[in-house]
Chains A and B, each alone.
Chain A
């Protein structure tokens, strides 16, 4: 079984809808991250969490919110989706001591029409 799983893998939604992307990990890591990937822009950090009670904004948090329900679960919500949020979203985890080595999930492809 994969160490970092994301659901759904693909989603098409309409402008204005609320949507939640979920991430679960079995690696036992403290730290979890949400990134979005856009063609030609690389990866940009949306939110990150060092533990259940420590959540921080990344580079591009506007329009997004997160919830760390447990050490193993970290959800990303789009409160009112807009077309420029169409992207590939990745969840990642890392251990506290080797935070540079991040383990990525397979990604969620989100399309907002």
Chain B
């Protein structure tokens, strides 16, 4: 079955540091890949997506590239801010069958200190 593995947190950085959160996946076919973000006290919201190999998703200074050869979708940001403190979830949607189901990783807590 489908699965998503992301680096365990928590991750603590200083403001303006470089961020990488690793995500690898197992799926058949050609899944679509996503990063969701959960700010404190809120529900999840879609941060970025990539629907085919070599696509780069980007939003709010965050980027992730769909690497089929390494089955990875690592999240990066060049200079984090305190407001980026949140839990980040990697997720995938399989390419075949019902298109409703998202498989989520366990989440990575990021704390950015001033």
By DSSP majority rule, is chain A's interface helix, strand, loop, or mixed?
strand
* Interface residues in chain A, defined as those with a beta carbon under 8 Å from any beta carbon in chain B: 4, 31, 33, 40-43, 45, 48, 50, 90, 92, 94, 99-107
Q: Does B44 lie at the interface of the complex (its beta carbon under 8 Å from any beta carbon of A)?
A: yes
CB distance from B7 to the nearest CB of A (A): 13
CB distance from B55 to the nearest CB of A (A): 14
Interface contact A42-B106, CB-CB below 8 Å: yes
Total contacts A to B, CB within 8 angstroms? 48
In this complex, the interface size class of chain B, counting residues with CB under 8 Å from chain A, is: 10 to 19
Q: How far is the CA of A106 from the CA of B89 in the complex (A)?
A: 16
Interface contact B100-A50, CB-CB below 8 Å: yes
* Interface residues in chain B, defined as those with a beta carbon under 8 Å from any beta carbon in chain A: 32, 34, 41-46, 49, 89, 93, 99-102, 104-107
**Which residues in B have their C-beta under 8 angstroms from that of A4?**
43
A31-B100, A50-B100 known; A102-B46 Cβ under 8 A: yes
Interface contact A100-B42, CB-CB below 8 Å: no
CB distance from A27 to the nearest CB of B (A): 13
Interface contact B106-A104, CB-CB below 8 Å: no
Interface contact B89-A48, CB-CB below 8 Å: no
**Which residues in B have their C-beta under 8 angstroms from that of A102?**
44, 46, 102
Q: How far is the CA of A78 from the CA of B105 in the complex (A)?
A: 25
Nearest-CB residue, chain A, relative to B46: A101
Interface contact A106-B43, CB-CB below 8 Å: yes
Select A100's contact among B32, B43, B44, beta carbons within 8 Å: B32
Interface contact A104-B89, CB-CB below 8 Å: no
Q: How far is the CA of A63 from the CA of B105 in the complex (A)?
A: 24
Q: How far is the CA of A109 from the CA of B32 in the complex (A)?
A: 30
